[in-house]
Structure 1
Amino acid sequence: MTTDTEMKTSFDFEKELTRWNEFFKTINGPELSTELTPRQLIWKKNKATLWHYSAVERKYDVPIFFVYSLFNRPNILDFAPGSSVIEGLVNSGYDVYLLDWGIAGYEDKDINLEDYIVDYIKKSVQRVLRHSAADEVSVVGYCLGGTLAAMYASIADEPIKNLVVATVPIDFSVAAIPDKLANGIKEGAFNIERFVGVYGIIPPSYVEAMFRSVTSPVYNSPYVTLLTRANDKRFVEKWRRMNNWTKGHVPLTGGALQQINNDLFKENKLVKGEFTIRGVKADLRNIQANLMVVSSKNDNLIPEEQSLPLMDLVSSKDKTYQLVEAGHVSLAISGKLSGILDQWLCARSRKN
């Protein structure tokens, strides 16, 4: 028989009440600021913004230009003090630039991948070179941003010294989604054109649902973890930042979705050398920049097999492939990526 003393020892009502209060405060509280590392706006086009993060003490004269995915906000690259990719790089002596795509509106529905590459990435790199007075640039792409970066590098006139792609989908014959769903999409069971015709741009809720279908039950377990650690202030802050980013999907233009689905997912044109950018073939063999491909061993979105083929498709003489013990997101938020980039880029970014 349990005594009153034993019950009091095993259950602390005040502690449990505090924990539940903190849990509800966290999930219902205001969003945390996503502007952490000091930055300066240097160019805008439509909804997109080009940011400059100045090196704390500049050691290298080849700036780093980041391209992120079209599906999420890029604040995962400046996640939190002490675990920020951008913070780590500026502290190591690099000037860093980031293209933030912003939030597309209905009026942007026809913007496709070619437009993003020519009108946004190419123009941003030109601005980076002008603003930094650098002779060359390092282009770093994350997730679908890596795909766009590789496409751009294949047609670029601008001097790209280093190209780094992390967790990047290149070979779309390898699918991260269930085979039945992948085959259904490829065989036209889901009419993308009709969907785009109705919506114009893909609402964030649809984008989120798409990723949940791939990563479930990953999206549910964080709430259980939060409840058990709601009294840990450091953990709660990190959880809030991660939760904000996870739910921070942005609208995807219909034009981009159609090209992703038809040209990449269904026809795998990039690997086949058939993808064109305003009439110019995006031949990956044109890439001669120093290349680094980074994959995450525990990535549940982009399997290693999607990224690895890039190593053989480029003409680069200096090529590095690295498989990291991390997940799709933890590669960035753990602080690992900034160290990996610094270690590889430092010898390829000419010290002053």
Structure 2
Amino acid sequence: MNEAGAEPERDQERELEALLELSRRGRLKLERLHEVLTTPGHFGTGATPSTVVYRENKLKLLRLLDESGKPREGRPPVLFVPAPVSRYFILDLLPGRSFAGYVAAAGFDVYVADFGTPSREDRFADLEYYVEGLVRRCVRTVSALTGEDQIGIVGYCLGGTLSLLYSALYPKTVRRLVLLTTSVDGDVEGGIPWVAHRMGLAGESYDNPRLVPAAEVKSWFEMLAPGSNSTIGRVSDLWDRLDDAPERLREVRTMASWVDDVVPAPGRLLAELYRKLGPGANGLMKGRATVGERAVDLTAVRMPVLSVSAEKDTIAPPEGVDAVRSIVPHAEIVRLPGGHVGIVAGRAAPALWKRTVEFLGEGRRDA
């Protein structure tokens, strides 16, 4: 065979070798994806050592411990309040990726409310149960343990709503308040109330509520961001990150595990949130919010307030979060890059952690 005839044959061989190599790499990547998906992350518990200092029904109030396993006594107390429809450990995800742990290491006596998993008997739980009941007793416990009449509160998502309502009812017990991705404007398009309204999912019976299954609650989140919040979206994200360092993959996998682990929701709580704070009613913005039979006077919120929104948040749209300036004019408004989860535990989270520590520490009395 002459040289001219051999060249096309060599080209075909090179193309075949390239295809075989591509196939081999694809197979290895699929094997790696399977390994990542089937290897549990740090999942279901917080990363920082803690002790339970109060229990009530499903609630456990955790006190974070230092490296020697002892409480950080004498330090300014801070209570983290997560959303009651998700696991608390997004606030204490992994060693080196823990918001609560970062605040504790910065010199605070940190407590985290773990609301647990609601069951059928909890379907009647409402705003009064959470605000006047659980959050109030958590604050009382922290104050009793520390001897402090006022504490810092950090509320995340719906936990921020509970924290804001509590702070309006009991302002003398709150030194500083941080609201993270907490939407206060129920008329802003986007977010869970808007989805509930558009999809006809807001008809929860107040008088005869059900326990809303976790799968249904999760579907609401997926409606808000079909790409990033769906299972397919998260697997696609993992595929794109398979060449990342193992530590980074572990973070992504653990965050995905948290997103998947939505808990059931008390039907009465959802019905009340929609009817009082959702589209149309918009109780916070219109000054008509109530907890039980008590009217909520937001002008009582005179303590320093920091409100943080996320630019790409589809669960608590930043416009609805930043609207807090209309009802708490002195609030500091900060908008950071990232989404609803990433702002708390993702790569950009340290910016939030740092600003929170600065805010909580302003004017504090060091031990």
TM-score by length of 1: 0.89
Choose 126-135 or 173-182, whichever is displaced more: 173-182
Cα displacement string for residues 209-236 of structure 1 (whole angstroms, at most 9, x for unaligned residues): 0110011122233312322443542232
Equivalent position to 2:50, from 39, 47, 59:
39
- Residues 329 and 184 of structure 1: is their aligned pair in 2 closer, same or farther, counting only changes over 3 Å? closer
Structure 1 position 325 matched with structure 2 position 337: yes
Conservation of the 8 A alpha-carbon contact between 1:285 and 1:315: no
Compute the displacement of 1:94 (Å): 1.1
Alpha-carbon distance in 1 for matches of 2:140, 2:194 = 43
Structure 1 position 255 matched with structure 2 position 264: no
The letter for the 1-side match of 2:262 is H
Compute the displacement of 1:26 (Å): 2.4
Equivalent position to 2:224, from 214, 236, 242:
214
Compute the displacement of 1:115 (Å): 0.8
What is aligned with 2:214? 204
The letter for the 2-side match of 1:344 is F
Conservation of the 8 A alpha-carbon contact between 2:154 and 2:179: yes
Cα displacement string for residues 127-186 of structure 1 (whole angstroms, at most 9, x for unaligned residues): 01111222320011111111110000010165211011011111111121599966646x
Choose 240-249 or 16-25, whichever is displaced more: 16-25
What is aligned with 1:147? 161
Compute the displacement of 1:196 (Å): 8.7
What is the 5 A alignment of 1:76-91?
Answer: 76-91=90-105
- Residues 38 and 290 of structure 1: is their aligned pair in 2 closer, same or farther, counting only changes over 3 Å? same
What is aligned with 1:27? 37
The letter for the 2-side match of 1:153 is S
Equivalent position to 2:358, from 311, 326, 343:
343
- Residues 265 and 180 of structure 1: is their aligned pair in 2 closer, same or farther, counting only changes over 3 Å? closer
- Counterpart of 2:133 in 1: which secondary structure? helix
- Counterpart of 2:48 in 1: which secondary structure? coil
- Counterpart of 2:153 in 1: which secondary structure? strand
Structure 1 position 301 matched with structure 2 position 315: yes
- Residues 277 and 347 of structure 1: is their aligned pair in 2 closer, same or farther, counting only changes over 3 Å? same
Conservation of the 8 A alpha-carbon contact between 2:202 and 2:271: no
What is aligned with 1:18? 28
Q: Gaps (5+ residues) in structure 2? A: 1-7
| Cα RMSD, aligned residues only | 2.6
Cα displacement string for residues 54-92 of structure 1 (whole angstroms, at most 9, x for unaligned residues): 356969732111111122112111122222111211111
Conservation of the 8 A alpha-carbon contact between 2:186 and 2:193: no
- Residues 154 and 129 of structure 1: is their aligned pair in 2 closer, same or farther, counting only changes over 3 Å? same
Q: Which has the higher contact order (CA 8 A, sep 6+)?
A: 1
- Residues 39 and 256 of structure 1: is their aligned pair in 2 closer, same or farther, counting only changes over 3 Å? same
- Counterpart of 1:97 in 2: which secondary structure? strand
Query: Which of structures 1 and 2 has the bigger CA Rg?
Result: 2
Choose 104-113 or 215-224, whichever is displaced more: 215-224
Q: Gaps (5+ residues) in structure 1? A: none
Choose 328-337 or 227-236, whichever is displaced more: 227-236
Alpha-carbon distance in 2 for matches of 1:121, 1:179 = 23
Cα displacement string for residues 36-56 of structure 1 (whole angstroms, at most 9, x for unaligned residues): 111111111100110011356
What is the 5 A alignment of 1:224-239?
Answer: 224-230=236-242, 232=244, 233-239=246-252
Compute the displacement of 1:113 (Å): 1.3
- Residues 3 and 164 of structure 1: is their aligned pair in 2 closer, same or farther, counting only changes over 3 Å? same
